Structure 1
Amino acid sequence: MFLSKWTPWNFFSKNEKPAIMDMPYLVMTQILDNVGFLAIQNLRKTCKSFRNFIDDVKPNNELKKIDIFLEHHRLTVKITFDNDNNLENGGEVTVMYKEGKEQNCCLISKTYKSSVVEFNKTDGHFVDVFFHDFEPILMNQRSKLTDMGIKIASFSYQDIYSLSPQSKFQSIFSRCLCSRFQKFESVLTIPAEKRNSQHRKVANDMMNRFGQILGSRTVPFETKNLDLKVFKQSQIFGILRSIKTNSLVGNQAFQFFEEEDTQTLDAIPKCETLKNMEYLRIGGFGMTNSITDFMDIPELCIKRENISRNDITIVKQSRFVIITKKTNYPTI
């Protein structure tokens, strides 16, 4: 059986030598299941036939953890593998996408085993460049992760941030380059109000993209533990609609003195993924619904501004632990 589904019908001729895509479907899937995560990402870039085949088959890989952290003007991704063979120097790699000094410019750096390789991407917003690299990973991930984190930094009072030096761009999944030490550091001053406004817009756009990508999968994305830190309650629901998880930590990224609506997660019991959840921790967001909505969760940690007598009775009967905290503010 030839892989004609992924290869044009007139791709081969009688005079051409056999190619790797001539091999049977079963043989190709077995090869991809054993080459490793990074090799698969490189194979996607060799030709259209390979890319279509990988996107359709979605081979297994050793990817176990993805931790995404959006800060002001930069985004850091830490990926961890179950098998150290994915990297010559270890099973973990950190990639940083940073806003460049020039307009519409992104700087990329990859770190593993304390070795930093600097890259330069002269076109595209740093979040767009991130999704260009990681959207296929999110779409094609078939095995269940142990941990996944999507976190947004809170607002900042700082008016300055630094930019890394630029160097020649290559993809983060291409061959390893020699280490390069930065020669200078540029400093740019931006008013805190403008900086926070830009950060909120980028964060909202990023979370919307995550919701669209995960929602377009044919099967839900699976992870044992999910850690979210976002500005809006709708962003938590946007992710939960497309993810199956056993544990959720949901925190609100603080906006300080910015005007904001009351953020509550009262609708979270309606999420399908809550039925199989073993651990739930909510911080920053308010919750007013009855404690009975969470009786099936073995470990629960939520914040309540007030609690009804009925809920207190239920908590006592269920032997839950209630922690009360009083804060004394100084008189001005």
Structure 2
Amino acid sequence: MFRLKWFNTPFIGKTEKLPVNDQPEGPIMDMPDLVMRKIMENVDFITMLRLRKVCHAFRNFIDDTKLDNGLIKVKIDVTPSTIYAYLDFASESRKSVNLYYIRYENNCLLKVQEGRIEEAKLIKNQDFVDVFFNDFGVILRNQSKPLKKMNIETSSFDWYPEDHDRDLLNSLKTTYSFYGCCTSSRPFEYSFDATQHLHEINDKYTLQPTADKFHDRFDCILKLRKSPISIQNLEMKVLRPSYFLNMARLIDMKQLREIVIWKTPGYSERKDGKQLVLNEIVELDVFKYIQKLNISHFKVTMPLEIFLHIPDLTVSISTLTVEDVLLIKKNMMTSPTVKSRRVYYDSIKDADTLHNTLGHANSDYGKIWYFKLPGLDQILKISRELHETCFSFTWTKTSCIYNNAVVY
């Protein structure tokens, strides 16, 4: 278990870098590689990060050995002034580790949390994005086994953990109040006070520069890998489709089965007056193998027929037509193994004609049509949801439909 010695050992706790010739190297590095490998196989991921900070020899050995750290899931939240990483491991003794990187003027507040144990420190004169990749880059370079899930979400607004290390912030507040960063000299007594202080420090920053740097650094590390990283489920909330496409091209397509991509709220769906589209996704090698695809807010302008080999599909288009609905209906009726389809739209062309073509609608909630699949206890449910511009196509059973419903 990680005991947070990362923060208080003589060398690891230092924020400044030692000259190369002064880096400490102990007799342990004189051990044979096989012995070192056996030792490192029993070292958890966070301890690896600590050891990388001891000396160049440890860092090079860890980076070159590609040891399995047991990591299975990663969630990263990016805001204008923060990066939070939540890491889940396969180990029964250590389920998760949370890493928090927060901008503090030209410095970085770093907090590590494992279970109920946590510690925080200030890393001076280093950008928080750089500090994050100094640590997380080890994962990207060394991860050998497939990740079950990678989730990256960008948000336009900064948010901070409620359980701040107030002692650390109080000590920093005294220092930085001389530069006009603090409006009050009283100590922080509540989490709200600390949060307000961080908002005052970082209120001038916006998401775009942070997102650009984050994705550039992320992609650069993936490009340096000897083989593409393996991810089974990729979820991303991004400002621009290019962030997703650049990363997707650096992933092992043989493993990727689920993609969920949507746009960061609060930013326009247009760039230079043009609608943001994600048509390039059909050019990815993984496209013909994908089992689940969810594209929200970004539009696709390719014919819907191109996407109908995907069992679980959600897409957004500008205009929905009668032909689109009938095409999906036919696809579902002839492919009962398909899970579902959801199509979001800005407008419907000839809505009255569409409704008449489908027949009488059951209208308990929005408009619903039922179509029985011959020979099976399976009914196709087509619904136009009342408060959303969405048509959904899902399967249900006869027992789940009320008695007076019209079934075709």
TM-score bracket for this pair, using the shorter chain length:
0.7 to 0.9
Q: Return the offset for 1:282.
A: 1.0
Name the counterpart of 2:61.
53
**In the alignment, residue 110 of structure 1 is paired with which amino acid?**
V
Note if 1:133 corresponds to 2:135.
Answer: yes
Structure 2 CA distance for partners of 1:187 and 1:231, relative to 1, 3 Å: closer
Relative contact order higher in (CA < 8 Å, ≥ 6 apart): 1
Question: Which blocks of at least 5 consecutive residues in structure 2 are unaligned?
Answer: 1-25, 159-163, 173-186, 333-339, 343-382, 390-408
TM-score (norm 1): 0.75
1:73–1:99: 8 Å Cα contact kept in structure 2?
yes
Structure 2 CA distance for partners of 1:257 and 1:242, relative to 1, 3 Å: closer
| Aligned-partner Cα distance in 2 for 1:257–1:191 | 23
1:32–1:60: 8 Å Cα contact kept in structure 2?
no
Listed as ranges, the matches of 1:251-262 within 5 Å are 251-256=262-267, 260=271, 261-262=274-275
Q: Return the offset for 1:123.
A: 1.3
Q: What SS does the corresponding residue of 2:64 show, helix, strand or coil?
A: helix
Q: Return the offset for 1:46.
A: 3.0
Q: Return the offset for 1:267.
A: 0.9
TM-score (norm 2): 0.62
Q: CA RMSD in A?
A: 3.2
**In the alignment, residue 105 of structure 1 is paired with which amino acid?**
N
| Aligned-partner Cα distance in 2 for 1:318–1:137 | 42
Q: Return the offset for 1:140.
A: 1.1
Name the counterpart of 1:120.
122
Name the counterpart of 1:178.
none
2:228–2:250: 8 Å Cα contact kept in structure 1?
yes
Equivalences, count:
286
Listed as ranges, the matches of 1:196-211 within 5 Å are 198-211=206-219
**In the alignment, residue 239 of structure 1 is paired with which amino acid?**
M
Q: Return the offset for 1:226.
A: 1.0
Note if 1:298 corresponds to 2:306.
Answer: no
Q: Return the offset for 1:120.
A: 0.9
Structure 2 CA distance for partners of 1:256 and 1:295, relative to 1, 3 Å: closer
Note if 1:279 corresponds to 2:292.
Answer: yes
* Higher mean displacement: 65-74 or 314-323: 314-323
Q: Return the offset for 1:206.
A: 1.0
1:149–1:227: 8 Å Cα contact kept in structure 2?
yes
**In the alignment, residue 328 of structure 2 is paired with which amino acid?**
V
Structure with the greater alpha carbon radius of gyration = 2
Listed as ranges, the matches of 1:190-229 within 5 Å are 194-195=204-205, 198-229=206-237
Name the counterpart of 1:29.
37
Name the counterpart of 1:93.
97
Q: Return the offset for 1:74.
A: 1.3
| Aligned-partner Cα distance in 2 for 1:269–1:328 | 26
Q: Deviations over 1:179-201 (max 9, x none)?
A: xx965622654897x54xx2211
Structure 2 CA distance for partners of 1:265 and 1:273, relative to 1, 3 Å: same
Q: What SS does the corresponding residue of 2:230 show, helix, strand or coil?
A: strand
Question: Which blocks of at least 5 consecutive residues in structure 1 are unaligned?
Answer: 1-17, 157-161, 169-180
| Aligned-partner Cα distance in 1 for 2:388–2:36 | 66
| Aligned-partner Cα distance in 1 for 2:57–2:28 | 11
Percent identical among aligned pairs is 29
| Aligned-partner Cα distance in 2 for 1:237–1:305 | 21
Q: Return the offset for 1:25.
A: 3.7
Q: What SS does the corresponding residue of 2:279 show, helix, strand or coil?
A: coil
Q: What SS does the corresponding residue of 2:234 show, helix, strand or coil?
A: strand
Structure 2 CA distance for partners of 1:122 and 1:94, relative to 1, 3 Å: same
**In the alignment, residue 279 of structure 1 is paired with which amino acid?**
K
Q: Return the offset for 1:326.
A: 6.8
**In the alignment, residue 309 of structure 2 is paired with which amino acid?**
D
| Aligned-partner Cα distance in 2 for 1:31–1:163 | 34
Note if 1:316 corresponds to 2:329.
Answer: yes
Structure 2 CA distance for partners of 1:120 and 1:19, relative to 1, 3 Å: closer
Q: Return the offset for 1:285.
A: 0.5
2:269–2:297: 8 Å Cα contact kept in structure 1?
no
2:107 to 105, 108, 121: 105
Q: Deviations over 1:229-254 (max 9, x none)?
A: 00001111011011132111101002
Name the counterpart of 2:15.
none
Structure 2 CA distance for partners of 1:290 and 1:258, relative to 1, 3 Å: closer
